[in-house]
Chains A and B, each alone.
Chain A
Amino acid sequence: MTVFATLVLTFVYVPLVVVGVNSFNSDRTFGWPPPGFTTKWWEAALQAQGPRDALLTSVKAGLGATAIALVLGTLLALALSRYDFFGKHAVSILVVLPIALPGIVTGVALQSVIQNVLSPVFGIGAGLFTIIVGHATFCIVIAFNNVTARLRRLGGSLEQASADLGARPLTTFRRVTFPLLRSSLLAGALLAFALSFDEIVVTTFTAGPESQTLPIWIFNNLFRPNQAPVVNVVAVVLIVLSIIPVWLAQRLGGADAAESRL
């Protein structure tokens, strides 16, 4: 058991450590073992315009997609867990489906919509907006799942108690439902942001020539020999920025599960 776990973890994490070490490797062609260590690649990366723009685009896309996902995912979760209506089951499957769809299918589909509908009819070309929409398709699922799980655990009796005490539906949402959902919303947001931040497949089809996200930038520069060291640095940044939200989301989930059990 232990051996197996060690093996798996080694396979997963050793390459990441190598990337981290290489970002300080003084050899331009990543000779191994590193002949020496330097911070010049980090300096170069920080000065370069390309990665900085890409980082900004990634952050914007992540925030935008997360915001859309939170609002729509929460509303969907509330509708599906608190109300009965025709087609309820179909809707709940349709909501979760995007996470199962291959990214490439989503990407191709979105691209054809952009080319055939959005740009000629509405004048919206591929760019930041389309990246956000593309990412939102799978980020919604994360928010939806988090909120649905919480709603299920809470049950409806607290909301009934609130109505019984004279609170109208909006007041009940503001004073009871939302405060109890807050931590699961935060956890969902962090995960959604992390997913969006390192997404590449859907982004390839929805990003225009002007806007590059960080993963796309890495992909484009990977095989340019003089950019290789900088790519390592950017990769390390990407790893760190993706891990932090996931770690935070896990801690939140744990702390919260303990608190809300009454």
Chain B
Amino acid sequence: MAAETASGTPAIRLNGLRKEFAGTPPVVAVHDVDLDVRAGEFFSMLGPSGSGKTTVLRMIAGFEEPTSGRIELAGEDVTGRQPYERDVNTVFQDYALFPHMSVAENVEYGLLVTKVGRAERRSRVAEALEQVRLGDHGSRRPSQLSGGQRQRVALARALVNRPTVLLLDEPLGALDLKLREQMQVELKGIQRDVGITFLFVTHDQEEALTLSDRIAVFDAGRIEQVGTAHEVYESPASAFVAGFVGTSNLLTGDAARAVIRRDGSFAIRPEKVAVMAVGSPADTGMMSADGTLEEVVYGGPVTRYVVALDAGGRLTALEQNAGTRPDVAALRRGERVALRWRADHVIDVPGPPAPERSPLGASPQQSPTTT
């Protein structure tokens, strides 16, 4: 069932892929992107809206023609081919189910138009519907289904064709939080079962971290970093990645010089920063900074503390409420606190800090420190 790719040949290879949209001057949506996606991988393209990730997906599907560059699927150059000549299938953001067909007819469509025999069609449709747990909904119309069910029909309709690569364009974007979390688990399970390469587009960093084997972080038409969830989160390659993936906790300029005692930009993940009473002793290998509590955001299992540092700048600390010490639990806005973190948790981030973005996911995101 897995994509039949010679070992070592990537399922997708993008080579200098570029897309300009007409205008004066032309708008460059994608800047010469190079990317290899391995066969069988769950690969996410993560970035804010307008970062070019969806345009890349649409070029792979064949809906947009690249201005220059090459697209290879399983070692085959498909750059100039029509969408119906490519061995990829797409799960669309709005599902794009055919309203005049039943659920089973929707799923059968790809097999029907590619002239698969009737008996095989029937068994594969039944299998695909079973896979997404819609075995007994085949005769319904899409309009009679809930959002989550439509989403699963769209998935079955694409998977039934056993493509080399499945493209997913923010498929969970239209679902509410609970359903989205449930679908994430299902999606991951299905991908593991079918072994097809998934290329997943999302602007939700949590979703990308949870689901993906590897992630490409996009910004302004360029790939900033490619890596596993762990790599992207723990060692971001740029200030943008540090800020976009996870809560941004950036120290630059004078604040960095005062607190870290080096020049440059540094990120510290909030969960690695501890809040203490002023004057508590610091262990060896720990760094510390004093400041004033600006905000205390209680979030159930965790509490978020935003601290304005005396040295300038702002740091967010995330405390698990399981072990919160009484002296910290009682903290209120305006009180003086000391922050502590391990020196080896400080990440050097090259490049300018990320511009301020709207909060993503559930976490209120702090704007990066500026000098």
A163 cross-chain contacts in B, Cβ below 8 A: 62, 82-84
**Do residues A164 and B83 form an inter-chain contact, with CB atoms below 8 A?**
yes
**Do residues A175 and B113 form an inter-chain contact, with CB atoms below 8 A?**
yes
**Do residues A180 and B96 form an inter-chain contact, with CB atoms below 8 A?**
no
Closest to B116 in A: A166
Q: Which of B88, B92, B157 is A157 in contact with, Cβ under 8 Å?
A: B92
**Do residues B161 and A262 form an inter-chain contact, with CB atoms below 8 A?**
no
The CA-CA distance from A113 to B97 in the complex, in Å, is: 49
B253 interface contact, C-beta 8 A: no
The CA-CA distance from A165 to B230 in the complex, in Å, is: 35
Known contacts A160-B90, A175-B113, A261-B143; 10 additional CB pairs below 8 A are: A160-B83, A161-B92, A161-B96, A163-B83, A164-B62, A164-B158, A176-B98, A179-B100, A180-B99, A262-B142
**Do residues B100 and A165 form an inter-chain contact, with CB atoms below 8 A?**
no
Residue from A168, A175, A180 with most neighbouring chain B CB atoms (10 Å): A175
List which A245-262 residues lie within 8 A (CB) of chain B: 259-262
| Residue-wise interface mask of A (163-188) relative to B, using a CB-CB cutoff of 8 A (1 in contact, 0 not) | 11111100100011001100000000
**20 interchain pairs, CB-CB under 8 A:** A157-B94, A158-B96, A160-B90, A161-B96, A161-B97, A162-B109, A162-B113, A163-B83, A163-B84, A164-B83, A164-B84, A165-B89, A165-B110, A165-B158, A166-B110, A166-B114, A168-B113, A175-B113, A262-B142, A262-B143
A-B pairs with CB below 8 Å: how many? Answer: 64
- A interface majority secondary structure: helix
Q: 9 tightest CB-CB pairs across the interface, nearest first?
A: A165-B110, A161-B96, A167-B113, A163-B83, A157-B96, A166-B114, A262-B99, A164-B90, A163-B84
A161 cross-chain contacts in B, Cβ below 8 A: 90, 92, 96-98
Q: Within the complex, what minimum Cβ distance (angstroms) separates B325 from chain A?
A: 54
The CA-CA distance from A100 to B307 in the complex, in Å, is: 68
B61 cross-chain contacts in A, Cβ below 8 A: 164
Q: Within the complex, what minimum Cβ distance (angstroms) separates B333 from chain A?
A: 48
B63 interface contact, C-beta 8 A: yes
| Residue-wise interface mask of B (79-93) relative to A, using a CB-CB cutoff of 8 A (1 in contact, 0 not) | 000111000111010
Q: Within the complex, what minimum Cβ distance (angstroms) separates B199 from chain A?
A: 13
| Residue-wise interface mask of B (106-126) relative to A, using a CB-CB cutoff of 8 A (1 in contact, 0 not) | 000110011000000000000
The CA-CA distance from A165 to B162 in the complex, in Å, is: 11
- What is A's interface to B at a CB cutoff of 8 Å? 157-158, 160-168, 171, 175-176, 179-180, 259-262
- Interface residue count for B (Cβ, 8 Å)? 25
**Do residues B92 and A165 form an inter-chain contact, with CB atoms below 8 A?**
no
Q: Within the complex, what minimum Cβ distance (angstroms) separates A165 from chain B?
A: 4
**Do residues B113 and A160 form an inter-chain contact, with CB atoms below 8 A?**
no
Residue from B82, B88, B94, B100 with most neighbouring chain A CB atoms (10 Å): B100
**Do residues A165 and B94 form an inter-chain contact, with CB atoms below 8 A?**
no
Closest to B160 in A: A165
The CA-CA distance from A179 to B109 in the complex, in Å, is: 14
Q: Given A165-B89, A165-B110, A167-B113, A160 and B96 touching (CB < 8 A)?
A: yes
Q: Within the complex, what minimum Cβ distance (angstroms) separates B261 from chain A?
A: 55
